């Protein structure tokens, strides 16, 4: 199983980047004994100003063939953390690669939404993409702790 995080744009050094790195490192440590692979962070940038269509091409190229495509979209399904952990365990157990995609300032092209296996919402409000990266990295770590039965997730 491969776990890709395809994110439009580059995060400069700063607090958001530190948090993403910290949560992904924690995810790696907690997930390894559970058979979860480290997250491959792919930062995708279209320098020619092609907007969401060009970004959709970059995402489509980056996604591993056959991978389940999960797009982050405020119009998508809101999952509980244990439900997200269940999805992750299901993909792991079926040996399926997974690509999680976060759009840029313009969002994700509708054609990506059409081909996604899951559109996942972090609530109906729109968040800046760098905060979405932080929140998703935290939810990955939280999911690993849920699968490990550790007390980090208490609800
Ligand atoms: C600034 S938002 C773009 C918003 C854009 N106006 C749109 O219509 O999608 C950048 C990216 O962050 C992610 N995002 C923002 N808010 C989100 C939310 N509440 N749930 C899930 N993903 C979100 C999406 O992947 C989105 O493409």
Q: How far apart are CA 37 and CA 1, in angstroms?
A: 7
pLDDT at 127: 98
Q: Please tell me whether 127 is known to bind a ligand.
A: yes
pLDDT at 9: 94
In the block, tokens 């550790």 appear at 150
Residue in 127, 131, 139 to alter for ligand 1 test, most ligand atoms within 8 A of Cβ: 127
pLDDT at 155: 74
Nearest of 119, 103, 128, 114 to residue 51 by alpha carbon = 103
pLDDT at 47: 86
Q: Whose CA is nearest to atom 11 of ligand 1?
A: 103
Lining residues, ligand 1, CB within 6 Å:
72-74, 102-103, 105, 107-108, 121-123, 125-129, 132
The three state secondary structure string of 113-126 is HHHCCEEEECCCCC
pLDDT at 49: 85
pLDDT at 117: 96
pLDDT per residue as tens, the chain (155 positions):
999 999 999 999 999 999 999 999 999 999 999 999 999 999 999 888 889 999 999 999 999 999 999 999 999 999 999 999 999 999 999 999 999 999 999 999 999 999 999 999 999 999 999 999 999 999 999 999 999 999 898 87
**Number of Cβ within a 10 Å radius of residue 95:** 7
Sheet holding 3-8, edge to edge: 39-44, 3-8, 98-102, 68-78, 118-121
Q: Please tell me whether 122 is known to bind a ligand.
A: yes
- Classify strands 68-78 and 39-44 as parallel, antiparallel or unpaired: unpaired
Residues 6+ apart with CB under 8 A from 123: 74, 78
Residue in 44, 52, 74 to alter for ligand 1 test, most ligand atoms within 8 A of Cβ: 74
Question: What CATH number belongs to 3-148?
Answer: 3.40.1280.10
Q: In this structure, what token pair is assigned to residue 89?
A: 């365990």
């Amino acid at each position: 199983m491969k776990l890709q995080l395809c994110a439009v744009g580059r995060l400069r050094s700063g607090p958001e980047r530190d948090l993403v790195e910290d949560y992904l490192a924690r995810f790696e440590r907690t997930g390894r004994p559970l058979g979860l692979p480290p997250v491959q962070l792919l930062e995708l940038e279209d320098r020619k100003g092609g907007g969401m269509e060009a970004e959709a091409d970059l995402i489509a190229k980056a996604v591993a063939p056959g991978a389940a495509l999960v797009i982050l979209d405020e119009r998508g399904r809101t999952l509980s953390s244990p439900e997200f952990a269940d999805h992750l365990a299901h993909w792991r157990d079926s040996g399926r690669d997974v690509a999680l995609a976060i759009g840029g300032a313009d969002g994700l092209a509708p054609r990506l939404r059409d081909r996604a296996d899951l559109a996942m919402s972090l609530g109906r409000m729109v968040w800046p993409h760098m905060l979405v990266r932080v929140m998703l990295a935290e939810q990955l770590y939280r999911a690993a702790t849920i699968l490990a039965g550790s007390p980090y997730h208490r609800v």
